[in-house]
């Protein structure tokens, strides 16, 4: 699968770069301003989690078919410590750090789909997407 943008994530500047890349692609795909903001915010949440928990990782952002429909897709991957309890991490307010615990559940609400593959000592892979709006 080809991606339009690949952003290495290791600090705040990279979070901004990933957010901007997602926003730019969302605009090109015809998303409303509200949806552009939602996509950019979801990307920020996941990129911040990468810097907070793994230190570094990668985000790939592109337009692809998902379930037979065009979508803006974000694939985030890191080699960090992994998430011990993914189900619990998806609950509002749960955090193993000092955050508000809104990153994963917030991103899930902002996007149409969010999938997490993670476990102790094997890093985390997150795929999330938002359907491209109908042009008619």
- pLDDT confidence tier of residue 101, bands split at 50, 70 and 90: very low
pTM of the model: 0.91
Residues present in the chain in total = 136
CB 50 within 8 A of CB 9: yes
Question: Is residue 131 pLDDT above 80, yes or no?
Answer: yes
What is the C-alpha separation between 13 and 33, in angstroms, rounded? 23
- Give φ, ψ of 125 to 5 degrees: -125, 125
Q: What is the pLDDT of residues 27-66, one digit of tens each?
A: 999 999 999 999 999 999 999 999 999 999 999 999 999 9
CB 26 within 8 A of CB 72: yes
What's the whole-number average pLDDT of the chain?
90
Question: Is residue 74 pLDDT above 50, yes or no?
Answer: yes
What CATH architecture is 5-131? 2-Layer Sandwich (3.30)
Residue 18 in 3-state DSSP?
A: helix
Q: What is the pLDDT of residues 14-24, one digit of tens each?
A: 999 999 999 99
* Structural domain boundaries in the chain: 5-131
pLDDT at residue 100, as a whole number:
42
Q: What is the distance in angstroms between the CA of the first residue and the CA of the last residue of the chain?
A: 27
pLDDT at residue 135, as a whole number:
72
Q: E strands along 11-123, which residues?
A: 57-66, 69-78, 113-118
What is the C-alpha separation between 70 and 53, in angstroms, rounded? 31
């Amino acid at each position: 699968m080809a991606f339009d943008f690949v952003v290495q994530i290791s600090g705040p500047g990279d979070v901004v770069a990933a957010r901007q890349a997602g926003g730019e692609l969302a605009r090109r795909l015809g998303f409303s301003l509200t949806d552009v903001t939602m996509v950019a915010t979801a990307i920020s949440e996941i990129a911040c989690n990468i810097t907070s928990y793994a230190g570094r990782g990668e985000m790939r952002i592109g337009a692809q078919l998902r379930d037979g429909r065009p979508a803006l897709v974000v694939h985030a991957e890191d080699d960090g410590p992994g998430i011990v309890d993914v189900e619990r991490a998806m609950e509002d307010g749960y955090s193993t750090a000092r955050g508000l615990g809104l990153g994963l559940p917030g991103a899930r609400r902002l996007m149409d789909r969010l999938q997490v593959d993670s476990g102790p000592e094997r890093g985390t892979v997150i795929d999330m997407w938002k359907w491209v709006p109908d042009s008619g």
